[in-house]
Structure 1
């Protein structure tokens, strides 16, 4: 089977790799360079905690693959299962955490509840005002700059053709499948996989499938290096948008942070997202609540990236509802990094076997049809 994959981020490169492993002849096309879109702008969080419950089976599948990534891809993508702690500062956050933990337990996610003394003993320096926390020991982080190129290189070794810097000019449904005309040539295949991220809704619309998607950019930052003392990824349970910060410390000592600041709107033409420096003070106040020491550290870089946010904050994933041979996997709403390997594996299974062991019904594209 010949397959064209549109979009060279984590979803697209993982899909291409797993399709090739199952015997497909794959052409992967990207409008820029591999892994330079939303993937590289990601925080690098590999978490299951707090996900919509319908995503947990896919998140479990993906976590297994993250654990196999170095051996599978032949490259260290810096996956570290250091755990994920979410701090709690008020009774509302505590109630939300306990309700979520109870609902997630039957779906295979066990969260440990930590009290004040346990936080201080196990994670000194974090959030002196926290009243409790959840801890998920098997989650962690990975390097957003490494994972998509690693999948792409592994896919290339399996025979995948990768076409970069290709502006898509036309997509046509033909008697035998699809014809994609680009600035780098024309490509034909039986199946088309739409992993175009924030641009995915535009492609879907060409086939009569409207998706309410907004393109936005997160505000991310990184500090100068500090002694490496913070192992887990750190987040928060909160009902207040301005408090929703998160951070992690990489092995080189830098602290990567995000959240709290409003996402900036992004024009898809040309699709460049720029961090807003006026939002940094509010963001840093929220981050300092989690890690007071960050108030005394220099910020060396901020950045953003173009992400697609669907109205219901769930991705679009699965078969097209209008066009045989068309498949979608886009709109992961800023929390697709952890899911990426699982998405690629699940899409390859669906395309090549016409079934998928992981439930995808909640992500179907026709959920937006007027009833």
Structure 2
């Protein structure tokens, strides 16, 4: 059977799904191909924090658009979005300075944020250690989601809106013709489309192995943990801490950032493994803790291995205990996620014969930036900016 569409999206993670969403809202006939029974990659292996506050100016615009899209969908269909805000906690005067500078940048960008004193942070956040926190910067508009719940519910929502989703289908061949694209899958299906967008992380190597090997993509491996449910404890928002302040792109635009970074110990454990400490309470009362960053070129992905480095988990828990005296730090789950990102650009984009578009390597910006970026990209690919 020949399945014909205006657009076929390959990859059912957050980046591919939001490309399908925006094409669908523009009245296009769209199919989404997911190689597994349900998404298994980076989308379901992350914190689920939607935090435009951590992005540089360009991506903050996409992230803020994403917030609007998440909230719009949530008002129509429960995809687990909770608007509880995000807070960055400073542990010393350098980090306080960066928070104050970012607050000034936010004012000029008209992005709501609120500087909090040490006392206000301690009042709002139960069991926060007084000997850690010096100040905070709160972003009331930001949301969090349950990643595994969100993406599967989003698929159900889009099916109701007319999206055709084919799971367990690996794209094996994608051929550009004079007009449109022919696509063949592992399920012996034959598709035709006006355009194809490939958003399946590093796995576009199945279709274009030479392009994949020659790309500047690297793979990042992140370790995360989940505590047991916290008895009689509520963490009122997503929490990002001092090491996040020193890592996230938004702070690199602060006037004193470069000087402060230059004073850091380049041989520290957190530098070696890219550790910063995040807290997020899930719907079931557990706390998600993390995370770390270990990198390898796509040609050497096997170097990252399949094992968890317990010294990283132990370090994260030790540092987390310096920040919050949670009722329990007993861990019930540990896992790692892998995502692809570019070394030289902020996202990997490559067009083949005008109608096949590879869009991947969004890195750690996926959950926050995909919805807004995909809207822009669909409008660009289909020349809809002025429609």
TM interval, shorter chain, is: 0.7 to 0.9
Q: Secondary structure at the match of 1:307?
A: strand
From 308, 312, 317, give the equivalent of 1:284. Answer: 317
- Cα 1:209–1:303, aligned 2, differ >3 Å: closer, same or farther? closer
Is the aligned partner of 1:29 residue 2:29?
A: no
Instruction: Work out whether 1:252 is the aligned partner of 2:312.
Output: no
Indicate how the Cα distance of structure 1 residues 205 and 16 shifts in structure 2: closer, same or farther if over 3 A, else same: same
Task: Report how far residue 273 of structure 1 moved.
Answer: 5.5
Distance in 2, matches of 1:284 and 1:309, equals: 27
SS of equivalent to 1:99? helix
3-state secondary structure, aligned to 2:372: helix
Q: Tell me what 1:299 maps to.
A: 331
Please state whether the residue corresponding to 1:293 is helix, strand or coil: coil
In 2, distance between residues paired with 1:196 and 1:36?
Answer: 11
Provide the C-alpha distance between the structure 2 equivalents of 1:329 and 1:102, rounded to a whole number of angstroms.
Answer: 33
Aligned partner of 2:148 among 107, 125, 145: 145
Q: 5+ residue gaps in structure 2?
A: 247-263, 265-269
Map 1:150-299 onto structure 2 (within 5 A): 150-184=153-187, 185-200=189-204, 211-226=215-230, 227-238=232-243, 239=246, 241=270, 244-259=276-291, 261-263=292-294, 275-293=308-326, 296-299=328-331
Task: Point out where structure 1 has 5 or more consecutive residues left out of the alignment.
Answer: 358-371
Describe the shift of the 1:117–1:234 C-alpha distance in structure 2 as closer, same or farther (beyond 3 A). same
What is the CA–CA distance in structure 2 between the aligned matches of 1:131 and 1:203, rounded to whole Å? 51
Equivalent position to 1:2, from 6, 11, 34: 6
Give the equivalent residue in structure 2 for 1:64: 68
TM-score (norm. length: structure 2): 0.81
CA positional deviation for 1:151: 2.3
Which of 1, 16, 23 is residue 20 of structure 2 equivalent to?
16
State the TM-score, normalized to the length of structure 1: 0.84
SS of 1:71 mapped into structure 2: helix
- Partners of 1:263 and 1:132 lie apart in 2 by 30
Matched, 1:342 2:346: no
Q: Is the 8 A contact 1:5 1:28 kept in 2?
A: yes
Once the two structures are superposed, residues 271-304 of structure 1 have per-residue CA deviations (whole angstroms, 9 ceiling, x without a partner) of 995533342101112222331326x421000112
Corresponding residue for residue 91 of structure 1: 93
Task: Give the match's secondary structure for 2:173.
Answer: strand
Moved more, 26-35 or 37-46: 26-35
1:262 to 1:158, Cα distance in 2 relative to 1, 3 A: closer
